[in-house]
């Protein structure tokens, strides 16, 4: 089953200590492990929410707003698409991600495509 892992956090939460090893190094190790296990299908860091454009269509009119939809300190920093046997495995994979120690990771099952098993 496929799961989307949303990596949430702030650029730096002053209330939490900085990691002892650079996050990029720890994340690269996580990526290598999960790619080796065959559970990580893809993933990518996102640029800051300040670079987002929000789109709404009301009565056929396209409305664009620069910046994030909601004012919040925490934002989605990146994502990974996982293929796991079940939710327990997806949660185990997410808990190993370095960002789980400094932010939050949301894991959501994807709806299957037409013709796929759920």
Cα separation values, 36 from 48, 75, 78, Å: 29, 28, 20
Helices (H) and strands (E) in the chain, counts: 2, 6
What pLDDT, on a 0 to 100 scale, did the predictor assign at position 79? 97
**Rounded-to-integer distance, Cα 59 and Cα 36, Å:** 48
Q: Pick from 67, 71, 69, 78: which is nearest to 103 by CA?
A: 78
State which fold the 2-12+20-109 domain adopts: Alpha-Beta Plaits (3.30.70)
What pLDDT, on a 0 to 100 scale, did the predictor assign at position 49? 83
What pLDDT, on a 0 to 100 scale, did the predictor assign at position 39? 98
What pLDDT, on a 0 to 100 scale, did the predictor assign at position 30? 96
What pLDDT, on a 0 to 100 scale, did the predictor assign at position 67? 78
What six digits make up the tokens of 71? 């004012």
Q: Where are the domains of the chain?
A: 2-12+20-109
What six digits make up the tokens of 27? 């994340």
Cα separation values, 65 from 10, 24, 50, 71, 73, Å: 22, 31, 11, 13, 19
What pLDDT, on a 0 to 100 scale, did the predictor assign at position 18? 52
Residues in the chain where the model's pLDDT stays below 50 = 13
**Hunting for tokens 């327990």 — which residue is that?**
88
- Cβ-contact 101, 62 below 8 angstroms: no
What is the reported pTM? 0.80
What pLDDT, on a 0 to 100 scale, did the predictor assign at position 17? 54
């Amino acid at each position: 089953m496929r799961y989307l892992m949303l990596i949430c956090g702030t650029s730096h939460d002053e209330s939490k200590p900085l990691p002892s090893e650079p996050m990029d190094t720890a994340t690269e190790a996580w990526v290598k492990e999960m790619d080796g296990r065959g559970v990580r299908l893809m993933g990518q860091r996102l640029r800051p929410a300040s670079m987002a454009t929000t789109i709404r269509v009301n009565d056929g009119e396209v409305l664009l707003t620069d910046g994030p939809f909601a004012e919040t300190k925490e934002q989605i920093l990146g994502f990974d698409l996982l293929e796991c046997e079940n939710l327990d495995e997806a949660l185990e994979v997410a808990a190993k991600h370095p960002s789980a120690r400094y932010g939050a990771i949301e894991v959501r099952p994807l709806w299957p495509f037409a013709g796929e098993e759920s």
